[in-house]
Amino acid sequence: MISVAIDGPSGAGKSTVARRAAQALSFIYIDTGALYRTIGLYMSQRLEDTKDAAAVEKLLSQISINLKFIDGEQHVFLNGKDVSAEIRTPQAAMHASNVSAIPAVRVFLLEMQRDFARENNVIMDGRDIGTVVLPKAQVKIFLTASVEARAKRRLAEHTARGEHIDFNELIKEIETRDYNDSHRAIAPLKCAEDAVLLDTTALSLEESVEKVVSMIRKTLCGEKSIK
């Protein structure tokens, strides 16, 4: 099986680029953020405090998560129920942030993510995929962009949803997130030593996807390696 790890800071476009690259190559795209959101959702339905590490760890054995592709879109199933829509709420994001800081949760998902990679050709994105989750991935890409470019992309997303966000505040939030992600004690954000750096500051989404697909094909010794 072939594993592709795409890491990078918040707002770099990892998820969109990884998803489209996976479609182009007929790989399975693994949205690691969705996995944390799913655990956060489950815990929020049973606990008053999703930061309670002991309580969360105790309930992990009750969770079964599966990813399925329906009409080209990734769906997340929690104990047999499709929760793809439920995990996209602001509340789910908050609970995901809480549980992601718990070591037992990261260990639980670590093996799950590796199982996906053992059984499928995958493109997996996150912040510690190439360094922790899939250190032996055949292809590692660190996707980044300037803070200003990432802020502009975030602003466009908010505007499309009818939300009014201050551009300077977005920059501050991204800089804070970058610092926190790269300085956290557990699985910090960093570029793997054997990863290829791709700066998408001056690239469109289509150009970014094309670059990533080309890099994957080239690393795997030509298109004949990928059917």
Contact between 85 and 78 (Cβ < 8 Å)? no
Which secondary structure element, helix H or strand E, spans residue 30, and what is its range? strand 28-31
Question: Which among 26, 30, 2, 5 has a CA at the least distance from the CA of 112?
Answer: 30
Look at 45-49, 154-158, 213-217 and tell me which has the smallest mean pLDDT. 154-158
Query: Which among 27, 73, 16 has a CA at the least distance from the CA of 205?
Result: 16
Asked if pLDDT for residue 226 goes beyond 60, the answer is: no
What distances in angstroms separate CA 207 from CA 20, 81, 146, one per listed residue?
11, 36, 16
Higher pLDDT, 166 or 72: 166
Q: Model pTM?
A: 0.80
- Among 54-58, 80-84, 164-168, 219-223, the range scoring the smallest mean pLDDT is 219-223
pLDDT > 50? residue 225: no
| Helix, strand, coil % in the chain, rounded to nearest 5 | 55, 15, 30
3-state SS class at 127: coil
pLDDT digits (tens, 9 = 90+) for 17-38: 999 999 999 998 988 888 999 9
Q: What is the pLDDT of residues 118-166, one digit of tens each?
A: 988 999 998 889 999 999 999 999 999 999 999 998 888 878 878 888 8
The residue-averaged pLDDT of 191-204 equals: 94
Compute the residue count for the chain: 227
